[in-house]
Amino acid sequence: MGILTWTWILVGITFALYIGIAIWARAGSSKEFYVAGGGVPPIMNGMATAADWMSAASFISLAGIVSFTGYDGSVYLMGWTGGYVLLALLLAPYLRKFGKFTVPDFIGDRYYSNTARIVAVIAALIVSFTYVAGQMRGVGIVFSRYLEVDINTGVYIGMAIVLFYAVLGGMKGITYTQVAQYCVLIFAFMVPAIFISFQMTGNPIPQLGFGGAGEDGIYLLDKLDGLQRELGFHEYTSGSKSMIDVFAITVALMVGTAGLPHVIVRFFTVPKVKDARVSAGWALLFIAILYTTVPAVAVFARTKLIETVSNAEYKELPEWFGNWEKTGLLKFDDKNGDGVVQYVADKSTNELTIDRDIMVLANPEIAQLPNWVIALVGAGGLAAALSTAAGLLLVIASSISHDLFKKIIKPDISEKGELIAARFSAFVAVCIAGYFGINPPGFVAAVVALAFGLAAASFFPAIVMGIFDKRMNKEGAISGMIVGLALMFFYMAKYKLGWLGPKPPASEWWFGISPEGFGTVAMVVNFVISVIVSRFTPAPPQEVQDIVEDIRIPSGAGEASDH
């Protein structure tokens, strides 16, 4: 059977599974809609968290980034994984004990202020919409290649699927759908990696294979370094970023991950505080399976690509090249008219333009794996994009219906009314996300990575100090969040997006830190402003200080004594 037939079969089966689960686990109350009723077993919540967290960026883009940047790409591996550890140890158990539905809910109640709640809602919407637009575009790209439909049609199909199970199922439906999506995406990522590792090195374990030698006895990384040098690229195993920038990007990604609202909300869905810790451990294990495989996939894909296309006759290139050319993500411009592909670092003579996002998706085709494996990767890419899109859309819906509507605009709304408002908010959010997926502003691809900087600059300090600093008051938290967000926006607009005149060169970056790493600076400024302002303004009410004291004491502490 051909790739198209296999894709229709596998995508059809997986989509039927997702819709069936959504119908079976549909939400009947606002608590089920927001936090799945708080009764999800830890191991299942760990799988759902892993699927929620590993978006199209992790499945499709991460290995592509690493394959093109080599050593420099390791900041994403360290930052995103480290951020998850930070979230699991430092924030998740305390937020679960606080017992609220959303991050703005925590900030609004902890800082006893609707202004703080509104600032948090705005930050959550900015981060979530920035992120979700990229997911919808990812869905369109996968559909356009594998189902041979227009990218816009692919986005419409993705919108319809997400709309169905996010609006009907709420967090309860999304949670159990994400368990299925994790199984699909991890199987789809690992199967071709195992095939290619065995094909190139004789070792079926990718994590070991990419450090081994090929049939010619040359170590794979040495071989890739040599290929890169020949073409004028910097060596794969050496970095070009400064130490301060590597540090700043890693920290920004770490604290940004720990401040992402759609990941934090997953820890509100388990029955007990202990379960939040256990499910965090499971999630880390499930995430590590993919993240430890990414460097191997990146090396395999980069090596295969260079060997296949560099100095090859264009008319003799394999079928996969033509397939990806049709999507516009791979372009050959024969500058010297000799019909031979010149793929080199020098832009004036380079004839090949490759979108990084195709590396994982095209990898099985380049390696000439069976058609069912190629189709499986497409189904996995869709599972990754859809699982994160659903989690983000729920954050958007709950921010509007619960944090704005119920808490501020109409506090006396009924349970049924709130559920209707949540579903309507999810519907509107899907439509807006779909619009951005079909008409991506030029900055969407750039800003997806910067969503982490925005989360770092706004949420992280407010959450950490809300848990660990009894003296932190509403004035301090609000000032810090506004200044942190504003600073991050200014730096993005000037140095990344070029909205404030011509984009300055890297030599003019503040402290030598790139826009991707500037979230670290904005976060530090947020912390400093928050602490200073809080010390010059009245302390929080005693009942708020008591709550902060209470959430830091483990459940059951003191039960064995009379205290």
Please check the confidence at residue 519 and state whether its pLDDT lies above 80. Answer: yes
Q: What average pLDDT does range 164-171 have in this prediction?
A: 67
Please check the confidence at residue 480 and state whether its pLDDT lies above 90. Answer: yes
AA identity, residue 245: D
Question: CA nearest 227: which of 310, 295, 297?
Answer: 310
CA distance 92 to 83: 12
Instruction: Show the domains of the chain with their CATH numbers.
Output: 3-301+369-442 (1.10.4160.10)
Using N-to-C axis directions, what is the helix angle for 151-201 and 3-24, rounded to 10°?
Answer: 110
Helix (H) or strand (E) holding 354: strand 352-354
Q: Which two tokens stand for residue 538?
A: 């009245």
pLDDT per position as a tens digit, 427-466? 888 888 888 777 765 544 555 667 788 888 988 899 889 9
Q: Picking from 39-53, 378-392, 536-550, which range would have the lowest pLDDT averaged per residue? A: 378-392
| DSSP per residue, 109-126 | HHTT-HHHHHHHHHHHHH
DSSP structural state of residue 507? G
Q: How many CA atoms lie within 13 A of 70 on its CB side?
A: 18
Please check the confidence at residue 411 and state whether its pLDDT lies above 80. Answer: no
Residue 501's SS3 state is coil
CA distance 450 to 458: 12
pLDDT per position as a tens digit, 232-290? 888 888 877 888 988 998 998 888 877 777 777 777 777 777 787 788 888 889 988 98
| DSSP per residue, 50-92 | HHHHS-HIIIIIHHHHHHHHGGGGHHHHHHHHHHHHHIIIIIH
pLDDT tier, 561 (very low <50, low <70, confident <90, very high otherwise): very low
- Residue percentage of the chain with pLDDT more than 70: 92
- pLDDT score, position 322: 84
- pLDDT score, position 556: 45
pLDDT per position as a tens digit, 303-345? 888 888 888 888 888 888 888 888 777 888 888 888 888 888 8
Question: CA nearest 473: which of 368, 374, 548, 377?
Answer: 548
Using N-to-C axis directions, what is the helix angle for 542-551 and 103-110, rounded to 10°?
Answer: 130
Residue 302 sits at the vertex; the CA angle it makes with 319 and 446, to the nearest 5 degrees, is 100
- pLDDT score, position 435: 83
Residues 265 and 102: beta-carbon distance below 8 Å: yes
pLDDT per position as a tens digit, 177-231? 888 888 888 988 999 999 889 988 888 889 888 887 777 788 888 888 888 888 8
C-alpha 324, offset from chain centre = 24
pLDDT per position as a tens digit, 118-165? 888 888 887 777 777 777 777 777 777 777 777 788 888 878 877 776
Residue 219's SS3 state is strand
CA distance 344 to 351: 8
Q: What are φ and ψ of residue 27, in 5° steps? A: -75, 135
